[in-house]
Amino acid sequence: MGMKETVEHLASLEVDLINRIWGCVNEEEDAFEAISRQLVDKPDHADLQNFINHALTGVLLAVAYFRFRETMKPFLSPDEMGAAFAKMTEAKTRNVIDHWHERGEGQAE
């Protein structure tokens, strides 16, 4: 499989993964809504909110790391994977935070 085919294959896997995640979210929409209503009714219930945040963050990071590791196998050694993933997530986090700051300066979307 050439580079072009590999990139196309990885892109289709990414789209499939995103669709699967959204499918899971849609299937559990009622549960998410119920949890959201609990948080609105009891905003001081920080334990539940922290649990949800940690669970979602953990799942997303696990999926992202697996995808990153599979994508980078031809380019990085197993020892280099962790450091490279950490650098990528730090850069992406900075981009998101910068975007939030930009929107907070009067830019409504």
Residues 28, 68, single domain; the answer is yes
Residues 41, 88, single domain; the answer is no
Residues 61, 93, single domain; the answer is no
Q: What is the pLDDT of residue 77?
A: 92
Could you read off the pLDDT of 18-28 as tens digits, one per residue?
777 767 766 76
Rounded to whole angstroms, the Cα distance separating 92 from 95 reads 5
Could you read off the pLDDT of 33-76 as tens digits, one per residue?
676 677 667 766 666 666 666 677 777 777 788 888 888 889 99
Residues 36, 14, single domain; the answer is yes
Residues 51, 84, single domain; the answer is no
Reported pTM:
0.46
Residues 45, 11, single domain; the answer is yes
Residues 41, 83, single domain; the answer is no
The residue range of the domain holding 65 is: 3-75
Residues 11, 58, single domain; the answer is yes
Residues 81, 71, single domain; the answer is no
From residue 46, give the alpha-carbon distance in Å to each of 11, 52, 57, 82, 99.
Answer: 38, 10, 16, 31, 26
Residues 12, 64, single domain; the answer is yes
Domain count, the chain: 2
